[in-house]
A and B are shown apart, each in its own frame.
Chain A
Amino acid sequence: MNQQIEPVTGRDLFRQHFEEVEDRFSSNGQSWFMNTRKAAFARFTELGIPTRKDEAWKHTSLNPFNEVEFRPSDVSDVDSKALLEGIVFHNWKAHRVVFQDGQYSEGNSAINNLPKGLTIVSLKEAFSTHREVIEEHLASYAGEDENEAFVALNTALHEDGLLVMVEKGVVVEDPIHLIYLTTSHAHPSSTHPRTLVIAEEGSQLTLIERYAGEEGSVYFTNAVSEIVLGENAHFDHYRLQDESPQSFHIGTVQIEQGRNSRYRTHAISIGSRIGRNGIAAHLDGEGIECVMNGLFLTQDDQHIDNHTRVIHAQPHCYSHEVFKGILDDHSSGAFTGRIIVKEGAQKTDAIQSSKNLLLSDDATISPDPQLEIFADDVKCTHGATIGQLDTDAIFYLRARGIDEQSARGLLTFAFANEIIEQIKIEPLRDYLEAIIARRYRKGAL
């Protein structure tokens, strides 16, 4: 008899993963963390993989994801030099940290000349060397939002990741360039990268967090970043998701902000078949500034779902959020942004907007900007627009001898570039500009 073996997927699959890695986790230096992992996995089992019946996942179907039998990522010995060539920027000073298939890749990283007060250490190592920090911070923040199931899964299964610590008052001049790279495997693979950033009082830091994979490979990245900003700390964050078009990416960023701290992020999603971003900021102190800029570009049958949540827990904070989407072909996108102003968080100034451009008749977008306000002396606005390019602008360009296709290309480019041009890191800005120019300025100028 030739009996077809049903592939193991979804919750059962990850149970297998957990059982496989359990021994490994409990034997090395991180055995003390095992209880947290077990509790997280129990939570994941309880929640299960979200379906469209869950309000927070109503725009995203994980059916294609549930059909794939992922394997825990093996430590691959693939030489990724060629792959990295297209990702790293040359002639640019940065502390580069590369993770290949979920494991720290010393050969590809360059973190030799760390300034005083900056600690960069792989999480696996940190379990032994910085146990107190991990005990205090890891898995203490993320997961209160709609990505909870996947955050729990990451906590249970993460093999490696990065711990970044900046001491009080230290200004780190060169940015940290963090790359999570996935190479192709015989089986669909899965990784759960974890990042923990602790910026102490008055420190300054720039982090570029990148997710990339080999073209054509099917894999699952379940990334979680926790960021803790002390009083008056400044943190510039760039998160670029440029995974392979066949991959699945679920990313969660949780930011804990202290009094007078400043957080700026650029969340840019270009890759993955199904991509989900959850960014949540907890403004727990007065005088905090939180800026979120987002851009997602989709084509073919991609689906990108962005969830942001800004919690104003204290008075006198400022948050500003702009998310832009450009959707082409059969792709679809969603944006759910929630601003929560808690009781007593007076004088809150919160702005949120979602602007979207549909380039094809088959593309769809669902923006849900939401406000939850429990204080009366606040200024909160949100807006969403979906539309075409400005016909007057097209006419203006055409009147100057630019053909229609080029005119549209130029305007689409300009729409995306409004986000890109705010990026302070020059090589990254050039890199992204080149991508959007290639995509939208086809044949124009």
Chain B
Amino acid sequence: MTSDTLMLEELAQSEYKYGFSTDIEADTVPPGLNEEVVRLISAKKEEPEWMLEWRLKAYRHWLTMEEPQWQNVHYPPIDYQAASYYSAPKQAGEGPKSLDEVDPKLLETYEKLGIPLKEREILAGVVAVDAVFDSVSVGTTFKETLAEKGIIFCSFSEAVKDHPDLVKKYMGSVVPYTDNFFATLNSAVFSDGSFCYIPKGVKCPMELSTYFRINEASTGQFERTLLVADEGASVSYLEGCTAPMRDTNQLHAAVVEIVALDDAQVKYSTVQNWYPGDENGKGGIYNFVTKRGKCAGKNSKISWTQVETGSAITWKYPSCILMGDNSVGEFYSVAMTNNMQQADTGTKMIHLGKNTRSTIISKGISAGKSQNTYRGLVKIGKKATGSRNYSQCDSMLIGDKCGAHTFPYLEINNKTSQVEHEASTSKIGEDQIFYCNQRGIETEDAVSMIVNGFCKEVFRELPMEFAVEAQKLLDVSLEGSVVYIKRLSLRENRIKGKNDYGNY
């Protein structure tokens, strides 16, 4: 191995910064999964009868299902009876009335994570945050400001109580409880999540954000997000996640459903930074998530942007069902894997309506001994005449022990549609680094620049309003100076000898 590949590999090392856990007394259901547990979760959340029925239907269906095997990620069999399916920070008596009453220790956790809820309100209304801690939503900021516009933004459990009609109408309409193994499991035991409804013609005045954190050991997190944009509404939504460092693997099986009616626009951005396990692949989160949006109305648009840097295993395909005529689906993704991480991610674009369009831009970066897979489906139905798709999947490999794989699936059923797929694989060239070095740019900065350039198409899709948020969450500036690889690579393990560049 040459000295520069060694250096590149060193650059790609780093430590997980969010690996603290918070000592809060938690109300955790004993491990195991059976109908009683489902009933218990429902009871603890004081859910109405119809919600319990739905959960039980899902649970019974789940029993008949088998875990899928086709994926390009490998993990030891999960013992679904060993995990606990509900964990809530324990509160004395009633739940918090306002943010001030929330356990200060909990708030401290968020402080460390860089989303000080209290600060939010002072921070001139940039973002409204709903934070989910283990299984329970702990506080939603800016509820009143949003309510003035008629926007409902609350935890899922509140929505079940306060807006049952909306929940009943839309829950399961995009991801039915029979959808897949993990979505069905989620439907049975989901704990909390966010609910958002943007009424007709309303443009949401601020970015909405959900923040997920797994704190308790050996619990699974199963949250459920439902986002409905009524006719002509528009919203931008960001989701972030972290978890403490633990030796055991924890399952995160969330469901996100988006419904966009006529002329509605939804932008959903994810910055996923779950604990990836240590460098030998011990511990870390299994991130098996079902995310799907339905462009139910004409001229609607759903755009997914994801930056996936964490998790031991990432396995998800944020998808768009383009039902309405002229609807648009977009998918922008950066997936970075390091050490023993595995990722099998991509998207599905199902074109059903006429003149529907979709764009897929996927950037995969593999380092260490990781495996990074893009898998995506573009399906154009017979009636989706005049549809258009463009997909581009680029992979970058850092080091020679990692793998980058691309499995696009295209299914085209009419003659008036056009589909294009392109993919390429590259590495950081010695000449590129040499060029930068020559101009006085240090190697680590050069790597940052090159990777940033590689991901630029995706980064510029992230909402700029999130700059404050995203910086704190990811220590990444989106304006283009330093990229996340720098965070991943350069903090702790500064390269030993910068001038060890013997070749030149």
Which residues from chain A sit less than 8 Å from chain B, CB to CB? 55, 343-344, 346, 356, 358-388
Contacts and interface: CB of A to CB of B under 8 A. Distances in A.
A343 B422 contact: no
B399 interface: yes
Contact of B423 (A55, A363, A371, A386): A371
Given A346-B400, A383-B420, A370 B406 contact: yes
Nearest to A327: B415
Residues of B contacting A: mostly? strand
Interface stretch (B216-224, B424-432, B438-446): B424-432
A371 B412 contact: no
A359 B426 CA distance: 36
Contact of B397 (A376, A383, A386): A376
Contacts of A361: 382, 414-416
Contacts of B413: 364
Contacts of A378: 397, 425, 427
Nearest to B379: A366
Given A358-B415, A366-B411, A373-B397, A385 B403 contact: no
Q: Lowest 9 A-B CB distances belong to which pairs? A: A376-B397, A358-B415, A371-B406, A384-B421, A387-B418, A380-B425, A386-B419, A376-B427, A374-B403
A366 B419 CA distance: 11
Interface string B398-411: 11111111111111
A362 B414 CA distance: 6
A253 B403 CA distance: 27
A368 to B, nearest CB: 5
Contacts of A372: 403, 405
Q: Number of contact residues on B: which range applies?
A: 35 or more
B70 interface: yes
A373 B418 contact: no
A366 B427 CA distance: 30
Given A382-B421, A388-B416, 5 more contacts: A343-B400, A373-B425, A376-B400, A378-B397, A388-B415
Interface in B360-416: 382, 395, 397-416
Contact of B401 (A343, A369, A387): A343
Contacts of A358: 412, 414-415
B410 A373 contact: no
A427 B201 CA distance: 68
A331 to B, nearest CB: 12
A366 B410 contact: yes
A381 B422 contact: yes
B419 A373 contact: no
A61 to B, nearest CB: 14
A373 B408 contact: no
Given A366-B409, A368-B407, A377 B400 contact: yes
A364 B411 contact: yes
B14 interface: no
Interface string B1-15: 000010000000000
A384 B419 contact: yes
Given A370-B406, A388-B415, A383 B421 contact: yes
Contact of A365 (B397, B405, B412, B420): B412
Nearest to A363: B415
Contacts of B400: 343-344, 346, 375-377
A384 B400 CA distance: 27
A371 B420 contact: no
Contacts of B419: 384-387
A283 to B, nearest CB: 17
A346 B427 CA distance: 11
Nearest to A381: B424
B417 interface: yes
A375 B404 CA distance: 9
Given A359-B415, A376-B402, A370 B410 contact: no
Contacts of B417: 386-387
Nearest to B374: A371
Contact of A360 (B406, B407, B415): B415
B412 A382 contact: no
Contacts of A371: 395, 404-406, 423, 425
Nearest to A376: B397
A375 B382 CA distance: 40
B413 to A, nearest CB: 5
A7 B204 CA distance: 66
Given A371-B423, A379-B426, A384 B404 contact: no
B392 to A, nearest CB: 10
A328 B422 CA distance: 25
Contacts of A344: 400
A359 to B, nearest CB: 6
A367 B420 contact: no
B399 A376 contact: yes
B407 A373 contact: no
B418 A386 contact: yes
The residue among B399, B409, B421, B425 with the most chain A CB atoms within 10 A of its own CB is B425
A385 B414 contact: no
Nearest to B407: A370
A373 B422 CA distance: 16
A285 B406 CA distance: 25
Contacts of B414: 358, 361
Given A376-B399, A377-B400, A385 B415 contact: no
A360 B414 CA distance: 7
A384 B405 contact: no
Nearest to A377: B427
B70 A55 contact: yes
A383 B412 CA distance: 15
10 contacts: A364-B412, A370-B407, A371-B395, A371-B423, A373-B425, A376-B397, A379-B426, A380-B423, A381-B423, A382-B422
Contacts of A360: 415
A352 to B, nearest CB: 9
Contacts of A380: 423-425
Nearest to B380: A386
A360 to B, nearest CB: 6
